[in-house]
Structure 1
Amino acid sequence: MPRWRGCSLGWQTAAFPCLVLCYVLFVVLGGLAFMALEMPVEKRLRAEVGELWRSFLNDNPCVQESKLQHLLGKALSVHHTNVAVLQAEEEERHYDFMSSLYFVIVTLTTMGSDVYYPQSDESKFFCLVYCVIGIPLTLFLLGLLSETLLLPVITHAPIRHLHTFWGLSLSRATLLHASLLSVLVLGLLFLLPALIISAVEPGWSFLDALFFCFVVLSTVGQGGCALGRNWSLNAREALELLTTCKSNYGILIRAVELCQRIVLNPLSFFKSKIYRLEGHPLHELCLEEVPEAPDEELQYSMAICTISSSV
């Protein structure tokens, strides 16, 4: 075995444990960073709530602390499920058709919801069976749509147009298309929705809205954010529908795998310009091993497929 091949195998063997170790360190550093950033906020909120608690008990000595604690704990647990507990909202229902449809869509797309989740044992069992069938079917359908519809329209057709009518080389057309598409996706799927959400949702800054758009499109969840809590029922249903359409469109765009296909083409362009030997790209050459003299300089020979294609 040539020495260069043994070194390559040794490097590949050691690379995977190093990669795993680096990833573990990356995860640990992320946890430490979030702990350092969020712990002061949590301590401040705990101090504020404790001060309000003591002030309320001092101003209302007739209220028993145990009963107040039980009442607030029950109200907070119900509020966490987004169920209306105020008397003015008795006609509002949490699991109407639109809300249930929203839960189904965010579950099938693996985005999840911080507000909607099954409460009864029957619905939990149905959700398990439903997701076992629905999630693979949804991912298959999204992949099929991206391959048959979106990829030719979003990627192939614009690159072909730039290459044919603008006279750009294929690699330069791909690079220009990647840049324009990145700006378009950033504007339409992140910046513009964040501006609209921050304008219509009271108490939300642009950063809050941008964070919400990011976690929704990346299928992380909703980041503990729920749009339209103070809106009317019809307005909130329309907002849930728009949010669902936006998330599905973003997931479908991600399913096209633009990054992999766009990044590899410019890389192959630069590699074909730099690594060429006697007019043939490097990937069309193979190393010829000489068993009798392993210490001699390795020679290049053309691959059989290259020779047959050139003839």
Structure 2
Amino acid sequence: MSLTIYQSITPADKPPQQNGQSSLLCGAEPPYRIRKWCGVRRSTWLLTFYVIAYIGYLIGGSYLFGYLEHDNEQMLRRDVRRRKLEFIREHPSVTPQQLEQLIVDVTANGLSPLEHGANATNWNFGQSFLFTVTIVTTIGYGHINPKTAGGKLVCILYCIVGIPFTLVFLSAIVQRLLSPTFRLLSKFLQKLSHFGNLEVRLLHLGLMGLAIFLMVFLIPSVLFWWLEPGWSFLDSVYFVFISLTTIGLGDYIPGDNAVHIYYRNFYKAMVGVYLLTGLLLLSLTLTVYYDIPQLNLGLHLHKHRDIFDGENDRASQRRGYGTSKEELSENTTVSHFAETETETNQLVRK
């Protein structure tokens, strides 16, 4: 009888024993140890601390936003109440109940009560395309929504198919874009061979992040600031960030002003295209970011990080964690990088 010891947890200089001679048999100690703090796995402690910190972060955020927004909300409510009372005094034939019912009827259906929107529709191609993009990407502004029973049912079924469809689409395009991305990284490693791999990868990530920040955040923010009357630059940055992080609060929607009436259809469709492109580039950046083990803090919460081989770990520390190209092949993305670098080296030799 033979027992296979996985190489991932076996010291490199101690080949696995076979033919019944494995040290895992007969109660012998395994060739590795588990990191523990006070008798509990290290990853369990780290996960516990992380969960506590996350819950504290949520609770702290609740108090913070309440503190920042409560007084302003009360001021706005007082202003609305004052203006309603003034309207009733100026129009004694209208009762407070009638005014309240009018406000409920106008705001309940999501339609603009303004005259410039009287002949507009929420379901032209541009508006419908933007709505479709926001539901399959889970941004979900909520600025328009189906009112009919058929529309609600179709929306559910459409999202059941559309959301995974979109995830596969984004994943497939990102995988295609990784090839030139890591080819550029391999050139950086060749040109900057006197630096460590970590430093070169951080430089590559920084330049990539800067380029995408300009294309996805800064330039679109300036364009929305210019195209949207009444938006400050902060409003534009806020809209871009809330959209591309798929938070989608829906408090700012481009293309709903009267000045857009002649090109609203095209404008709305282009906003949908921008959202897809922005999400794609952000996904690419995050993939490159998480491909660097030193930056992927979530790895420390995995149970396999508790496996400890003292001799090999000390050797890794002497080399510097993550600085050798062999260590960079820990995940599939870096393996892809290694293949790309090999192809690039062959091209250079030719």
TM tier relative to shorter chain = 0.7 to 0.9
**Is 1:52 matched up with 2:83?**
yes
RMSD: 3.2
Alignment-derived partner of residue 221 in structure 2: 194
Q: Aligned match of 1:92 in 120, 123, 126? A: 120
How far the C-alpha of 1:212 sits from its partner, in A, is 0.4
How far the C-alpha of 1:53 sits from its partner, in A, is 1.4
Identical residues among aligned pairs (%): 25
How far the C-alpha of 1:245 sits from its partner, in A, is 1.6
Cα offsets for 1:8-29 (capped at 9, x unmatched): 7514433333322221111011
How far the C-alpha of 1:240 sits from its partner, in A, is 1.5
CA pair 126-172 structure 1, distance change in 2 beyond 3 A? same
Contact 1:171/1:266, CA 8 A, preserved across alignment: no
CA pair 6-113 structure 1, distance change in 2 beyond 3 A? closer
Q: Aligned match of 1:260 in 263, 267, 290? A: 290
For structure 1, list consecutive stretches of 5 or more residues without a partner in the other structure.
285-311
Q: Structure 2 matches for 1:6-155, cutoff 5 A?
A: 6-7=36-37, 10=40, 11-78=42-109, 81=110, 83-147=111-175, 149-153=176-180, 155=181
How high is the TM-score relative to the length of structure 2?
Answer: 0.70
How high is the TM-score relative to the length of structure 1?
Answer: 0.78
How far the C-alpha of 1:215 sits from its partner, in A, is 0.8
Q: Structure 2 matches for 1:221-300, cutoff 5 A?
A: 221-230=248-257, 231-256=259-284, 257-262=287-292, 264=294, 275-276=317-318
Contact 1:201/1:228, CA 8 A, preserved across alignment: yes
How far the C-alpha of 1:84 sits from its partner, in A, is 3.8
CA pair 94-176 structure 1, distance change in 2 beyond 3 A? same
In the alignment of these two chains, the number of paired residues is: 274
Contact 2:133/2:272, CA 8 A, preserved across alignment: yes
**CA separation in 2, counterparts of 1:168 and 1:244?**
44
**CA separation in 1, counterparts of 2:166 and 2:119?**
34
CA pair 34-128 structure 1, distance change in 2 beyond 3 A? same
For structure 2, list consecutive stretches of 5 or more residues without a partner in the other structure.
1-28, 298-312, 327-350
Give the letter for the 1:276 counterpart.
Answer: R
Give the letter for the 2:161 counterpart.
Answer: I
CA pair 8-240 structure 1, distance change in 2 beyond 3 A? farther
How far the C-alpha of 1:96 sits from its partner, in A, is 1.7
**CA separation in 2, counterparts of 1:114 and 1:176?**
39
**CA separation in 2, counterparts of 1:181 and 1:227?**
28
Other structure's SS at 2:263 match: helix
